[in-house]
Amino acid sequence: MLSVTNLTAGYRRDHDVLTRISITLTPGRIVGVQGPSGCGKSTLIRVLALLHPPRSGDLRLDGETVRRFRYAAPAAQRRRVGVVFQHPRAAADPRHTLRRIVSAHLPAGAPGTETDRLAELVGLTPDLLDRRPHEVSDGQLQRACLARTLGADPRYLLCDEMTAMLDASSAAALVHLIKAQVEHHGRGALMVSHDSALLDACCDETVQWHDLGGPPAAPTGR
């Protein structure tokens, strides 16, 4: 399980973005979180992905308490949690080919065929792998970003508004991929979105943001 209990986190010392948030992800299930813009969904994902240290609260990853974040986090813990971000163009180096992007998180020594396998898994045709981000659509680039995330074989997938930039058919295809990953590989997934129809269509359970914890603390003015 990947869980946080009573999580408080923020960016400025005098203001908490997350206050006493609790949520649990279980392998084989998709949990949806719906909340309005700016409520802190991406911040929650950053903490769960060990990319942002919380101020307080208990973060547990498969029975271990997580104490270190960002590059100080043990690689084995970081690899267990994969993120797909909202903006694929901000998440992919524009100088790299899609082949390089897809292969970025594969373990050292993985055979070259692994990149082709991942590309096929997410529906990228071989000709696209030689292109750079500006030569493909947002949907194709988001598929490459998902393939990159899957290359680390994460036990938990955190999807941050991952279909927000896509048309309806690309969004549906990506959601289908996430569902298949959860069903066939036992990954646990979190999907955050402001789109309740999307969450209802793919999640085992959807939680409203305001049900996750306490209200944000008022700025202290210090």
Ligand X SMILES: Nc1ncnc2c1ncn2[C@@H]1O[C@H](COP(=O)(O)OP(=O)(O)OP(=O)(O)O)[C@@H](O)[C@H]1O
Only segment of 34-42, 55-63, 138-146, 174-182 that touches ligand X (CB under 6 A): 34-42
Question: Which one, 87 or 96, has the nearer CB to ligand X?
Answer: 87
Contacting residue, 8, 19, 34, 43, with ligand X by CB under 6 A: 43
Question: Which one, 39 or 141, has the nearer CB to ligand X?
Answer: 39
State in angstroms the smallest separation of the CB of 74 from ligand X. 24
Q: Is 148 in the site for ligand X (CB under 6 A)?
A: no
Q: Is 41 in the site for ligand X (CB under 6 A)?
A: yes
**β-pair partners for 159:** 84, 191
Position of tokens 């085992």? 204
- For 158-187, b/e burial (b = at least 16 CB within 10 A) is bbbbbbebbeeebbebbbebbbebbeeeeb
Q: Is the dihedral of CA 142, 148, 150, 156 positive or negative?
A: negative
Q: Is 162 in the site for ligand X (CB under 6 A)?
A: no
State in angstroms the smallest separation of the CB of 152 from ligand X. 23
Alpha helices by DSSP H, 131-222: 138-151, 168-185, 196-202
Which of 52, 43, 51, 44 lies closest to 4, judged by CA? Answer: 44
Q: Is 13 in the site for ligand X (CB under 6 A)?
A: no
With contact defined as beta carbons under 8 Å apart, do 173 and 202 qualify? Answer: no
State in angstroms the smallest separation of the CB of 162 from ligand X. 12
**β-pair partners for 21:** 7, 213
Which x/- pattern, by CB under 6 A, does the window 51-90 give for ligand X? ----------------------------------------
Token readout for 192 is: 């955050």
State in angstroms the smallest separation of the CB of 19 from ligand X. 12
Q: Is 119 in the site for ligand X (CB under 6 A)?
A: no
State in angstroms the smallest separation of the CB of 40 from ligand X. 4
Q: Is 42 in the site for ligand X (CB under 6 A)?
A: yes
Q: Is 37 in the site for ligand X (CB under 6 A)?
A: yes
- For 201-220, b/e burial (b = at least 16 CB within 10 A) is ebbeebbebeebbeebeeee
Only segment of 36-44, 105-113, 119-127, 181-189 that touches ligand X (CB under 6 A): 36-44
Measured from the Cβ of residue 100, the count of other Cβ atoms closer than 10 Å reads 16
With contact defined as beta carbons under 8 Å apart, do 5 and 58 qualify? Answer: yes
Contacting residue, 7, 17, 84, 102, with ligand X by CB under 6 A: 17
Contacting residue, 11, 134, 169, 197, with ligand X by CB under 6 A: 11
Positions in the binding site for ligand X (CB under 6 A): 11, 17, 35, 37-43
